[in-house]
């Protein structure tokens, strides 16, 4: 298998610096992360929306389905997070990617069971704090990302370089706006040791979202997403009636309660499982405009590696 050596691949013991984002519903099952890990990248099981019995079953499937490293993404704000932490400590996943909370809450316990811990950050300030707390690496998320981009909307290009400069000895996974091997090469040039791909893996055969959701990602252009939810938990999603309603409220300076009612009336689940592309939160990054097909996840990993080689070759004709 093709190998690309970086500080992140060395830390995680993976062949390729390709990380599949932990995406609620899309990778809240074993199929997608197993395919990515078995292809040489790091597959990530999204624990955010999962009930404990479903998570337990998926963890067993991950452990049985691959000898390669894999990860669990845990948003620390989710209901029942402590119960999830206890389950994960008992199952000892190779890698934990935690977000939406401070690392001191979990770090020592997972290190004690041998789990490598990456923490998601969206600013140099939070990156420094996470490194000081003792995390093994960082996932740095820029404004182009789908789901939850940084409130300040600093681009991946700038934020990755800033964090790499601020914590130069820490392995970094760059995320946001990346869909191919050229993006991977760019992030490595900026000082990251891997790139995380979310929207690209939404358009995979293994992603467990509605077919219409995948089709919407493939049909989208680079300007098809909107950021809405200021002061409520900013999200980036494909433009639809929901984002139009939110934008109208935000532009008119509507009070927080009115905006919250509209924001919470829609959900990612509506789009991902029910295929409601009109009123659901169709979360996707700007890289949707670079995604033109739905492929098996292993083929996506292989293509990204090939595109990376081609991008590097263009630098040295």
pLDDT in single tens digits along all 317 residues of the chain: 689 999 999 999 999 999 999 999 999 999 999 999 999 999 999 999 999 999 999 999 999 999 999 999 999 999 999 999 999 999 999 999 999 889 999 999 999 999 999 999 999 999 999 999 999 999 999 999 999 999 899 999 999 999 999 999 999 999 999 999 999 999 999 999 999 999 999 999 999 999 999 999 999 999 999 999 988 999 999 999 999 999 999 999 888 999 999 999 999 999 999 999 999 999 999 999 999 999 999 999 999 999 999 999 999 87
Tell me, yes or no, if the pTM score tops 0.85: yes
Q: What is the domain range of residue 236? A: 211-286
Answer yes or no: is 109 within a domain. Answer: yes
* Burial 80-90, CB ≥16 within 10 A → b, else e: ebeebbebbbe
Q: What are phi and psi of 277, to 5 degrees?
A: -85, -5
Q: Are residues 67 and 184 in the same domain?
A: yes
Domain count for the chain = 2
Sorted by sequence, the CB contacts under 8 Å of residue 317 that are 6+ apart come out as none
Answer yes or no: is 1 within a domain. Answer: no
Q: Are residues 58 and 164 in the same domain?
A: yes
Q: Are residues 150 and 256 in the same domain?
A: no
CATH code of the domain in which 38 resides: 3.20.20.70
| C-alpha to C-alpha distance for 149 and 130, rounded to whole angstroms | 18
Answer yes or no: is 81 within a domain. Answer: yes
Answer yes or no: is 254 within a domain. Answer: yes
Q: Are residues 181 and 216 in the same domain?
A: no
Q: Are residues 258 and 115 in the same domain?
A: no
What size, in residues, is the chain?
317
Helix H or strand E segment including 183: helix 181-190
| C-alpha to C-alpha distance for 44 and 164, rounded to whole angstroms | 23
Q: Are residues 143 and 165 in the same domain?
A: yes
Predicted confidence at residue 189, as pLDDT, reads 97
Predicted confidence at residue 316, as pLDDT, reads 83
Q: Are residues 186 and 264 in the same domain?
A: no
Answer yes or no: is 63 within a domain. Answer: yes
Q: Are residues 153 and 300 in the same domain?
A: yes
| C-alpha to C-alpha distance for 197 and 162, rounded to whole angstroms | 20
Q: Are residues 180 and 34 in the same domain?
A: yes
Answer yes or no: is 279 within a domain. Answer: yes
Q: Are residues 130 and 219 in the same domain?
A: no
Number of neighbours of residue 236 by Cβ within 10 angstroms: 26
Answer yes or no: is 159 within a domain. Answer: yes
| C-alpha to C-alpha distance for 261 and 281, rounded to whole angstroms | 14
| C-alpha to C-alpha distance for 99 and 86, rounded to whole angstroms | 17
Q: Are residues 231 and 156 in the same domain?
A: no
Q: Are residues 189 and 53 in the same domain?
A: yes
Q: Are 195 and 19 in contact (CB under 8 A)?
A: yes
């Amino acid at each position: 298998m093709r190998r690309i050596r970086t500080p992140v691949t060395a830390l995680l013991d993976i062949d390729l610096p390709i990380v599949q984002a932990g995406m609620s519903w899309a990778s809240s099952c074993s199929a997608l992360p197993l395919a990515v890990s078995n292809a040489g990248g790091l597959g990530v099981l999204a624990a955010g929306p999962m009930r404990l019995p479903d998570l337990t079953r998926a963890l067993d499937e991950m452990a049985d389905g691959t000898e390669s490293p894999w990860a669990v993404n845990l948003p620390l704000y989710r209901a029942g997070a402590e119960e999830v932490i206890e389950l994960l400590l008992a199952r000892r996943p190779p890698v934990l990617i935690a977000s939406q909370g401070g690392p001191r809450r979990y770090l020592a316990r997972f290190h004690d069971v041998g789990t490598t811990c990456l923490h998601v950050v969206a600013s140099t300030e939070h990156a420094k704090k996470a490194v000081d707390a003792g995390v093994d690496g960082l996932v740095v998320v820029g404004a182009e990302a789908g789901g939850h981009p940084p409130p300040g909307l600093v681009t991946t290009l700038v934020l990755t370089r800033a964090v790499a400069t601020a914590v130069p000895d820490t392995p970094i996974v760059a995320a946001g706006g990346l869909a191919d091997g050229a993006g991977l090469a760019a992030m490595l040039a900026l000082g990251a040791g891997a790139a995380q791909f979310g929207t690209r893996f939404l358009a995979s055969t293994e992603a467990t979202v509605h077919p219409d959701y995948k089709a919407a990602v493939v049909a989208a252009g680079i300007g098809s997403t909107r950021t809405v939810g200021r002061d409520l938990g900013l999200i980036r999603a494909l433009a639809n009636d929901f984002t139009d309603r939110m934008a109208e409220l935000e532009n008119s300076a509507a009070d927080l309660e009115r905006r919250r009612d509209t924001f919470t009336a829609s959900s990612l689940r509506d789009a991902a499982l029910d295929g409601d592309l009109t009123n659901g939160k169709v979360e996707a990054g700007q890289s949707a405009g670079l995604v033109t097909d739905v492929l098996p996840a292993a083929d996506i990993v292989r293509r990204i590696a090939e595109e990376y080689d081609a991008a590097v070759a263009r630098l040295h004709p």
